[in-house]
Structure 1
Amino acid sequence: MRVVGLTGGMGSGKTTVANFFKDLGVPVYIADNAGKSLMNTNEKLKSKIVSLFGENAYNEGILNRKFIADQVFNSPEKLKQLNDVVHPAVALDFLEWKNKQDSSYVIYEAAILFEAGGHNNCDLVILVTAPLEERIKRIQARDKSSLAEIEARLKHQWSDEKKRKLANFEIININLPSTEEQVRNLHEILINTGKN
């Protein structure tokens, strides 16, 4: 079973594309959602986070997301420390999930797939792109974030140009019918190239 990475910058439409693959019956693992869940349910991971950030990291056993965000937002070192404990837990969870799937390929969706080196564990990678102005509009509508907040978050992600060099496929997500058609075409390619 092949692992197909799915990534793209904030607001590119990764979730939309992931849902189109799900509609085609492809198992999809959303790494960011898994990470959020594991930070609240995996006791070993929780104790590592407390040892890094202190007791304020949790409120009654639930991750204090605002506190953690404030800690890592302007500290690349603290962000790296958090990622260094969360990513291995997510990788292990993904392997357990993957072993339960019965499909020619699975999708592993992660926002910072390239930045975190996760693409090295994928057989192929799909990059979802959209024009920057469109992405900013989508993020503002979704998160009600200011332009300054969005730009600060975008700084932590690689440019599409840099990602394109490592991706095997690109889905340009500007309008939904076109995006859905690109997903269907790619699904056919992935199924047919998997038959050896």
Structure 2
Amino acid sequence: MPKQLTIGLTGGIGSGKTAVSDHFATLGIDIVDADVISHAITAHNSPILGQLQDAFGVDIVKNGTLDRSRLRSLVFDDPAKLATLNAITHPAIRERILTKLNQATSPYVILSAPLLLESIKGDDKGLTALCDRILVVDVPVDLQIQRASRRDGQSIQQIQAIIAKQIDRPTRLHLADDVVDNSGDLATLYQQLAKLHQYYLTLSSQT
């Protein structure tokens, strides 16, 4: 386990996880971002990139860079291929996450992972095993669709398909220790985060 209080940050597509983690960073909190790590381990000439090419074909790499949209399309509706992808990438991602968590020096640390709760498989707690608390960024599904389609340039149908693959909103909220409502403006979001920040500082001083 990491050496200090670890807050797992997650939420559905378009919920605003980045806005939340960016604000915690301005408060001096170290952020360990699973997405950033995923990109780092598949960088040009990395061993993981080579393993992915062996498993999925050379056309998943363009100009030495992983074509994530191509890889996503290959595994999206194919459980066997998704399992292969996870078997190649997840151990390396978890190892790098642990390293980063243990290097953190802030009073508590945020582990941001879009699929944090989806990593739970039966008795395997996945990345949640590294967390002391789970913070969920919550918005209504229709707002998720609106924000994600505007941000990513994908169709409403594509966003709905992604949401259908993620854990459903009621289950996500049930598994949360803390929830922030991001259906309003940034000022309202930051007010909620200021209170959580003080709460987490108090908790960290007790560990």
- TM-score under structure 2 length normalisation: 0.89
Structure 1 range deviating more: 46-55 or 158-167: 46-55
Residue 100 of structure 1 deviates from its aligned partner by 2.2
- Alpha carbons of 1:125 and 1:38: their partners in 2 closer, same or farther (altered >3 Å)? same
Q: Which residue of 1 aligns with 2:157?
A: 148
Partner deviation per Cα, 1:85-138 (whole Å, 9 max, x = no partner): 212111111122222221221101011101013212211110000111111110
Whether 1:20 aligns to 2:23 is yes
1:116-195 paired onto structure 2 within 5 Å? 116-117=119-120, 118-175=127-184, 176-195=186-205
Distance, in Å, in 1 between the alignment partners of 2:200 and 2:12 is: 23
1:78-93 paired onto structure 2 within 5 Å? 78-93=81-96
Q: Determine helix, strand or coil for the equivalent of 1:11.
A: coil
Q: Which residue of 2 aligns with 1:97?
A: 100
Letter matched to residue 132 of structure 1: V
Q: Which residue of 2 aligns with 1:65?
A: 68
Partner deviation per Cα, 1:151-177 (whole Å, 9 max, x = no partner): 111111011210122211001112211
Distance, in Å, in 1 between the alignment partners of 2:168 and 2:11 is: 9
What is the aligned counterpart of 1:36 among 23, 36, 39? 39
Distance, in Å, in 2 between the alignment partners of 1:77 and 1:126 is: 31
Structure 2: runs of 5+ lacking an equivalent: 121-126
Structure 1 moving runs of 4+ over 3 Å: none
Percent identical among aligned pairs is 31
Q: Which residue of 2 aligns with 1:56?
A: 59
Q: Determine helix, strand or coil for the equivalent of 2:110.
A: strand
Distance, in Å, in 1 between the alignment partners of 2:46 and 2:14 is: 32
Distance, in Å, in 2 between the alignment partners of 1:73 and 1:154 is: 12
Whether 1:115 aligns to 2:125 is no
How many corresponding residue pairs? 196
Asked if structure 1 preserves the Cα contact closer than 8 Å seen for 2:136 and 2:176, the reply is yes
Distance, in Å, in 1 between the alignment partners of 2:80 and 2:90 is: 15
